[in-house]
Structure 1
Amino acid sequence: MNTSTIFPSSDYNDVIVDTPTIPSKREQRLDKAINYFSSVMFAIQVILAAVFSGIELHYGIDYLNQCPIQPWINIFLIVHGSTKLAWVLLGIVSFFNGRVIYNMMNKKTLARSIIILILPLQLLFAVWFLAWFIVGNVWVFSCKSRVQYTDPTSTSTYCQQTLYSAAYGLIISTYIVVGIVAILTVKRRVIGKTIRQRISS
């Protein structure tokens, strides 16, 4: 009896085992960046930045040339608001890349290629915001002890009160928001590390 008719032969060499691909360390770092830019915390930062950008542009443009004691306050608000708006657009692209291209469409290679282009821009914006924010602090706080709001003819000390108060308040608010975000980020990482240690143990 031909046993091959009863028991079909099977060539184990032809069996293809679909083994999961382990991402490299570089890909893992890119994946972490993608996950961060697609997180709820980052989305909140983008929303807050959009709100701050609108406020800065509003006061910087509407009260142009109304602060002779320090005319650069208007420039600070306009430039800071404009570049922050550009960062918001980049943030939306970053969020879309993580949520849609990486997660929903599962095109991880494409998402990683996009984040490679995004990361240098994010770094450039971060350096610019820090430098410009420091300069803005100098312009606003340096004239705090001399500024007055009642006599526009005294150009050496006058600044429109709403404009100066807005610039001052925006700087203080930025410090508060950055502090809160920093605390939440550290807390999130500590909690995540604790969870991973419990799972591994």
Structure 2
Amino acid sequence: MNFNSPNRGANADQPSYPTSKTSSTETNNSKMRAVVLSVASMTVGVGTLIVMLTLIAVIPLSQLIVGGYHKNQCPMNPMIDKYLIVAGAAGITTMVLGILAKTTGNAGVYYVSVLLLLGLFNFAWFIAGNVWVFKAKSKVQFDHPEDPSTYCFHAVFNCAYGNIIVTYCIVGFRCCFSCFRATARAFNI
């Protein structure tokens, strides 16, 4: 037995542990913080998924319905209603093929190739729609159909404009959410 040790007595051979509760409290706080952030991340993930799927389904359906029902009612630029019809049909096709590839577990070369081509087409068509809609925005009017150089039926133009803005919002939200998830993964949260 070492009598010069500060741990004299019966427990001299046993290791000493810190008596301070700060280290265990800090560990518990760290664990609690990690649990709270994990739950928040999962909740945001599930909530975001539901909102995103709803919006993603509503956008092409509204484009297809409004564009098809009000076909040829935008004489100032007839491509706006065509933009709605094609964007809606391509969006629904992309969604259906994506769901089929996921549910059947068959994400082979065929599905991936078709989805890639559809994605590229959707992107190019979206850019074209932006050009047609934003070019017409400054001179469009909804009250005088007898002036075809500036008239567009309000539902057609507003649907195209609104869907473009919502699409930009969704893309921005997804970028922010992806950054949040990447940060959470980087810190093992």
TM over 0.5: yes
1:1-201 equivalent positions in 2, closer than 5 A: 45-97=52-104, 111=105, 114-195=107-188
Q: Which residue of 2 aligns with 1:100?
A: none
How many residue pairs get aligned? The number is 144
Query: Per-residue deviation at 1:43?
Result: 6.9
Query: Per-residue deviation at 1:62?
Result: 1.1
Identity %: 35
- Which runs of structure 1 show a deviation greater than 4 angstroms over 4 or more consecutive aligned residues? 39-46
Distance change >3 Å, CA 189–CA 120, structure 1 → 2? farther
Give distance in 2, aligned partners of 1:129 and 1:44: 21
Which of structures 1 and 2 has the bigger CA Rg?
2
| 1:148-185 alpha-carbon deviations (Å, 9 max, x no partner) | 11111111111111211111111101100111112112
CA RMSD of aligned residues (A): 2.2
What TM-score does the superposition give when structure 1 sets the normalisation length?
Answer: 0.65
Give distance in 1, aligned partners of 2:155 and 2:58: 18
| 1:86-111 alpha-carbon deviations (Å, 9 max, x no partner) | 011012123314xxxxxxxxxxxxx4
Which letter does structure 2 place at the counterpart of 1:88?
M
Q: Which residue of 1 aligns with 2:42?
A: none
| 1:8-66 alpha-carbon deviations (Å, 9 max, x no partner) | xxxxxxxxxxxxxxxxxxxxxxxxxxxxxxx9566754443221111001110111111
Give distance in 1, aligned partners of 2:107 and 2:73: 43
Contact 1:140–1:168, Cα closer than 8 Å, also in 2: yes
Distance change >3 Å, CA 188–CA 115, structure 1 → 2? farther
Contact 1:46–1:92, Cα closer than 8 Å, also in 2: no
Give distance in 1, aligned partners of 2:153 and 2:60: 20
Gaps of 5+ in 1: 1-38, 98-110
